[in-house]
Structure 1
Amino acid sequence: MLILLDIDGVMVPATSWRPTEILSDGFANFSSRAVSNLQNIIYNTGARILLTTSHKSKFSNSEWEIIFKNRGIIANITALEPNLDNLNRKEEILRWCNKTNSSESFVILDDDKTLNGLPDYIKNKAIITSGTVGLTTDQALEAIDILRKEEFAVI
């Protein structure tokens, strides 16, 4: 199982009234609510994380694991290959889906509204967060449902 994860607007809600807190590892602090919700998804599904964030190439996979661990999330983390073609997020995810002929179940957690334009078979796996709120409890439960349904559909 795999979580295609954006960070800004999912783990780090945007606020105009407060600057983003940068931790000693050089990356933004995550919302404690989003951390709890992501941990719930991982705990209930054993899902790994595939970073789709625009920050994905700033750190190595092992550095990302440390960044997440510093924020209380223990996970197997891989970053999507760098976007050298300047594709938007929707195009990046489409390219990933076309390149990986994996039957592994996945869910997309992102605040990018262009993902609503994905083909239905992919869009049905996307949870679009509010960029100012981040990942909610209801969305975490929805993600667990998507991953579990996909898992049983593949078997």
Structure 2
Amino acid sequence: MRNNKLLILDLDGVLITNPSWKADRIHSDGYSEFNESCVENLNRLLTLAEFDIWLSSTRRTVKTLNEFNLIFKNRGIKKDIVGFLPEYADCRNRKEEILKFIKEFKASDFLIIDDDKSLNGLESGIKKSLILTELTKGLNSEKLKEAIEKI
């Protein structure tokens, strides 16, 4: 394990900010558009610390790592994804997945960016590393500022 910070990253409500009642706008590569200012904010964050990006989005189950890295590249994200959070059969929600991942990987230096409300239930030691975004706002400048304060 390298000494990089882990960035546990969701897509919907972080980089994809379409309201759930609207169909995603589709990029020329056939995948959902990302919110450009959210991508800029992510790139800004990625310049401030060495991160390994781990995708927690449920979308991780329908594409390969290579496909996602191409999608990230097509949208101007300047860093590849290192891996996906494992799919744990016994986890009922994102909170359980993230807790299990952190425990399994013995992660101590991490940042979680996600809009999943189940994460409000994280214990305070882990919750202090959470940036909880809103579905239609994503990683906006306010959330970027919060992330910078946490790193």
Q: TM-score, length-normalised on structure 2? A: 0.88
Q: Tell me the matched-pair count.
A: 146
SS in 2 for 1:28: coil
Q: Distance in 1 between matches of 2:132 and 2:49?
A: 20
Once the two structures are TM-superposed, the CA of residue 54 in structure 1 deviates from its matched residue by 0.5
Structure number having the greater helix percentage:
1
The alignment status of 1:67 with 2:74, answered yes or no, reads: no
SS in 2 for 1:98: helix
Paired residue type of 1:2: L
Give the share of equivalent positions with the same residue, in percent. Answer: 39
1:54-133 correspondence to structure 2 within 5 Å:
54-77=58-81, 78-103=83-108, 105-133=109-137
Paired residue type of 1:141: K
**Equivalent residue in structure 1 for 2:19, among 11, 15, 20:** 15
- CA, structure 1 residues 16+93, in 2 after alignment: closer, same or farther (shift >3 Å)? closer
- CA, structure 1 residues 146+20, in 2 after alignment: closer, same or farther (shift >3 Å)? same
SS in 1 for 2:126: helix
**Equivalent residue in structure 2 for 1:26, among 27, 30, 42:** 30
The alignment status of 1:140 with 2:144, answered yes or no, reads: yes
SS in 2 for 1:114: helix
Give the conservation status (yes or no) of the 8 Å contact 1:12–1:134. yes
Task: Report the counterpart of residue 44 of structure 1 in structure 2.
Answer: 48
Q: Which runs of 5+ in 2 are unaligned?
A: none
Q: Distance in 2 between matches of 1:121 and 1:64?
A: 30
Q: Which runs of 5+ in 1 are unaligned?
A: 148-155
> What's the C-alpha RMSD, in Å, of the aligned pairs?
1.7
Moved over 6 A (4+): none
Q: TM-score, length-normalised on structure 1? A: 0.86
